[in-house]
Structure 1
Amino acid sequence: MRARLVLISGLLMAMSAPSALAQVGSAGEGMFARDRNESVLQRPRPEYDSGGTQVGAFIYKPSVVVGLEYTDNVFAASDQEQEDVVAVFNPSIAAQSTWSRHGFSADASATRREYLDFSDESVWNYDVGALGRLDFVRNTFVEVAGTYAHLTEPRTSAGAAGQAAEPIEYDTGLIGAEFQRTVNRIRLQAGADWSTRDYDDAVLFGGGVADQDFRDRDQMLYQVRGDYAVSPDTALFARIKYNDRDYDLSPPSVPLLRDSEGYVAEVGADFDLGGVARGAVAVGYLEQDYESAAFSTIDGISVDALVEWFPTQLTTVTFRGGRSVEDAAIQGAAGYLSTNVSATVDHELRRNLIVSATVQLSEDDYDGIDRTDERFNAELAATYFLNRNIGVRASVNHFRQDSSGAVGNQDYEVNRVAVSLVWSL
């Protein structure tokens, strides 16, 4: 990863990662190169880029982010909102090999969120990950990745998160591998990964415990994709993904069996039109079948899109859209159909000053219960680079949920203001 991304990644708020089909600006060769355009966030800034420290065949890039965040609704409540200030401390380190062939990278980070008034909300989150790449011959390689994280559900999550006396913690891990081979105009990919989630129980306000073991699960995901380059600018592709979701508990330990299997079949195109736009768009069909007769099959149109538009050299507009079946955090529901769309504008106001604005809409339509959650999220942010090693970020965020249905959740709004300082070597 280029050195400039270290400083930016510490300053910019984490965004939902795109799927494998939509790696805008990803490395490639020949007919599949997608680097003709350059986004505002990718643009080199040698005078403000931190190069890291090279030791042997590796470049190490440590960074530390410290900041303050104000929120006017700590518990995402519909009334009697409580406000607080949160101190944030986030050290991290990344390592990247400099070998001429093959590759290895690893990273680790920890985040402390310390609430000044509501100390029970204070948490530690941490994660580690590694990625290795083995090159066989030209344009043929295998990548193997592994991650582990100890995380905390935000109060805005569904289920018991809003009623728990303390934030719900969980562990997640993933091991995966992908093979890719490119021959002239054809590129083939095949991959598989195993992931797991393990949730801690939630102690509720006023006493009692909400057992979260019903959410613990493993998943196997397999996917195959084939691309055909019709020109150096555009490739058409077809992809199919199959998943098998296996929950730890089954009746009589829980009322209903939540195991399921499903697939997504899509066709699409990825493109890089010099000076105009680049991205990937896919549409298809999705289906998730549940072993329990109490849950109906979730199916419908699938969408996966990430497109960057370049109205000027100093402005990048990013559009995202997705539709998928996710596992529910609520007893009585197995899953829900999630639909998300967003738009982000990044503008280079000055060489060392980037302003960004994001608007996101999402809808979760649950299966097995009468509930639909609609969410709106908007953020305005500015990132200022003082020099190669120090930068500042400030942001204002508004989040709103409207929930409907016989067992709908509460409606609420949360506003946040944050400022952070990042140091990177």
Structure 2
Amino acid sequence: MNGVCRHRNVLRAAAGALAAVTAKNASAQDIFVASPPDVAGKRVQSEYEAKGFDIRGVKLLPRIDSGVRLDNNVLSSGADAQSDGAATVSGVLDMRYVRPRRFLQASLTAETNRYFDLTEQNRNNYSASLATGGLIGQSTNYYARAAYRNQEAARGTSENDLGFGAPLERKSVDISGGLSHDFGGFGVRNETSFSNIDYGDVETADGPVSQDFRDRNAFSNSTTLSVDVSERMALLANGMVSKSNFTNEDAAEPSRDSRSLSAGGGFSYNLTELVSSSVIVGYRKTDFTDEGYADFEGLSVAASVDWHPTPLLSIALKSGQEIVTSAFSQVDAVTLTRTSVTADYELLRNLIITGSIGYARENFENLDATAERYDARLGGDYKLNRHVAIGVRGSYADRALSSAAAPGQDFDRFTLAFRLSVMA
């Protein structure tokens, strides 16, 4: 493997390790520049891939999904679990302009969910994104992405953990970009991101409840360095600065604005051609603008392992811990620990089975309270041909909170979904 490709892979591995604890997707700037790896879950089966329409070098890939989802605890409630079903319909339009050294992609998505009985939980979601990336010379690659999302988050989701009212409207704008360069045995990757999140009021039987206190802007810049030690191993160093500003706080309340600095080091190691790993251990410090909130600091750990035991099976492990701020004024800091394992199995050329299990633990520092969540997912898509696919997915989630966090809010939840996809 040449140095340029090696450092792209190493730096992406570092990004994947960081994503394990930051809930941030690793950048996908090489998705159209380099061929996908020949492993389960990513292997291209050309006879089953949608062709779409080609208009002056721009490929249009429309898709319509429709289905039914069954849920035994729609509101993720521990006290009054309500089961229901929902009909779902979504439309997706991808537009891709691809050249050997660069790409441009735009995507539009619209989705609606209609419940059979709990109609107050009906919701619509819309999103749009634009991404570009490519190579500069033989040693530099770049990417940039902008996305808008208008989401109505149902109760019980990570975006709407209030436990009351109708779906919560959440609008977000995310802008990110990155640049990486290989100097021959030494690689550098820099990524910058900005996001704006705006929450609507929650509609209840007693009237709207304002969620303006959760509106915020966030900025971060991360730099990762990679130095070859051997053909299989590289040393990694990462530094990050981030800032969070709440835009609609009550002037009479303490400001929750904060700034964080973190630094860490680790390594990327390829045990064999089929097993790769990455570990970064760091230290993070967060300072609040207002002295009403206690500054905090602590250890951050991120690790990832990718294993391909056979050409038909891929397994990915991600684990880590970090300290983060909270959108709620009652909580200063949260120590978040997460671990997940995902497996892709190519049962047939046109049938990929995907399963995952995960664990997350939140420690609310100033409340002496904890929350634990277990989840498992299993599903697959059977492609009848280029134009039609049938999907089935099941999920299980279990959440347990200590009495100091939210008494009586423990719950478990099962869902089973069936989907029909039609592509051009």
Q: TM-score range by the shorter chain?
A: 0.7 to 0.9
Matched, 1:220 2:219: yes
5+ residue gaps, structure 2, are: 1-17
How far has the Cα of 1:376 moved from its partner?
Answer: 0.6
2:131 counterpart of 1:131: yes
Match of 1:353 in 2: 351
The letter of the residue matching 1:419 is F
- 1:350-398 C-alpha deviation (Å, 9 max, x unpaired): 2222222211100122244343211010122132111122111112211
| 3-state secondary structure, aligned to 1:47 | helix
So what's the TM-score if we normalise by structure 2?
A: 0.86
Give the partner amino acid of 1:320.
K
Give secondary structure in 2 for the equivalent of 1:120: helix
Determine the structure 2 residue equivalent to 1:285: 283
Instruction: Please list the CA deviations of residues 292-338 of structure 1 after superposition, one character each: whole Å capped at 9, or x if unmatched.
Output: 33332333221223322122222111111233344434342244222
Amino acid at match of 1:110: A
Q: Which residue matches 1:100?
A: 100
Structure-1 residue corresponding to 2:228: 229
4+ residue runs over 6 A deviation: none
Correspondence 1:112 to 2:109: no
Answering whether residue 370 of structure 2 is matched by residue 396 of structure 1, we say no
Distance 1:142 1:310, change over 3 A: closer
Identify if the C-alpha distance between structure 1 residues 218 and 63 changes in structure 2 by more than 3 Å, giving closer, same or farther: same
Unaligned runs of 5+ in 1: 1-15
Code of the residue aligned with 1:214 in structure 2: it is: F
Q: Which residue of 1 is the match for residue 7 of structure 2?
A: none
Residue 240 (structure 1) aligns with:
239
TM-score normalised according to structure 1 size: 0.86
RMSD over aligned Cα atoms: 2.8
Using the alignment, how far apart are the partners of 1:23 and 1:179 within structure 2? 11
Residues 59 and 159 of structure 1, relative CA distance in 2, 3 Å threshold: closer
Report if aligned partners of 1:65, 1:90 keep a CA contact under 8 Å in 2. yes
Matched, 1:46 2:39: no
Partner of residue 338 from structure 1, selected from 327, 336, 357: 336
Report SS of the residue matched to 1:98: strand
Tell me the matched-pair count: 404
Separation of aligned partners in 2, 1:278 and 1:198: 39
Greater mean alpha carbon deviation, residues 291-300 or residues 154-163? 154-163
Which of 289-298 and 56-65 deviates more? 289-298
Superposition deviation, residue 217 in structure 1: 0.7
Deviations 1:191-246 (A, max 9, x none): 32221111112233x52543211111111111112112334544322111110111
CA distance, structure 2, for counterparts of residue 128 and residue 232 of structure 1: 41
Q: Distance in 1 between matches of 2:403 and 2:81?
A: 23
Q: For structure 1, which segment, 375-384 or 43-52, has the greater mean C-alpha deviation from structure 2 after superposition? A: 43-52
Letter of the 1:106 partner, please give it.
A
Following TM superposition, by how much is the alpha carbon of 1:123 offset from its aligned partner in structure 2, in angstroms?
0.8
Counterpart in the other structure of 1:78: 78
Tell me: CA distance 1:53–1:324, structure 2 relative to 1, closer, same or farther (3 Å).
Answer: farther
Secondary structure at the residue paired with 1:214? helix
Change (3 A) 1:66 1:326: farther
Distance 2:355 2:158 in 1: 26
Q: 1:153 to 1:351 in 2, by over 3 A?
A: same
Q: Which amino acid aligns with 2:262?
A: V
Residue 7 of structure 1 is matched in structure 2 by none
Give the Cα separation in 2 of the matches to 1:51 and 1:273: 38
Alignment check: 8 A CA contact 1:143 1:178 kept: yes
The one-letter code of the counterpart of 1:391 is A
